[in-house]
Amino acid sequence: MYHEELESLSLNFPSLKRAQFWMSFSENYLKHLEVLENVGMTGIEPTEYNGEQIVPIQFLAKLLPDPSTLGPRTKGRTCIGIVLRGLKDGKEKTVYCYQICDHEACWAEVKSQAISYTTGVPAMIGAKMMVDKTWLAPGVFNIEQFDPDPFMDAMNQYGLPWKVIELDDFDLDS
């Protein structure tokens, strides 16, 4: 799956040998998506219907529930993480840094799903760090071009605590 982080990470870390973006979905979700793809509802090219030009995915979006109404009935948790392998102190090391967010806890706190929470809180932290000049420089920058430590500290402070697990003998190539 494409995600713009892959472009900015490879640009700002030219020694990066491999970067991949993955998302996990339930079998039920994937089956529904497969059916919608099979009948052409995920298409982005306009098609004629009753003399009108429609874009199937836009029509589908109009039929689906408004995402803002899903919060009270969304259950479960999100997990956002990254597996990193590199050299630290001259030794190869592999770690998994991750954050888990509960949908129901987010709804109780801010009337939002965890997906929106895990999108909005980091954006708020970035904006706050620009306002307090922790992250401020002339020009345009991506997040990875700034010192990550204040950002990661703020993630813990503002409801998105993260953990790191060392992965001994983890084979990223398999």
Lowest mean pLDDT among 21-25, 36-40, 100-104, 155-159: 21-25
Output the pLDDT for position 166.
92
Render pLDDT for 68-105 as a digit per residue (tens, 0 to 9): 788 899 999 999 999 988 888 999 899 999 999 999 99
pTM for the structure as a whole: 0.76
78 vs 107: CA distance, rounded Å:
13
Whether the per-residue pLDDT at 169 is higher than 80: the answer is no
Q: What percentage of the chain has pLDDT greater than the value 90?
A: 67
| DSSP tag of 66 | P
125 vs 15: CA distance, rounded Å:
28
Give the gyration radius of the chain's Cα atoms.
Answer: 20
What is the dihedral angle through the alpha carbons of 104, 110, 111, 115, rounded to the nearest 10 degrees?
Answer: -60
Render pLDDT for 30-56 as a digit per residue (tens, 0 to 9): 999 999 999 999 999 999 999 999 999
Output the pLDDT for position 1.
60
111 vs 46: CA distance, rounded Å:
36
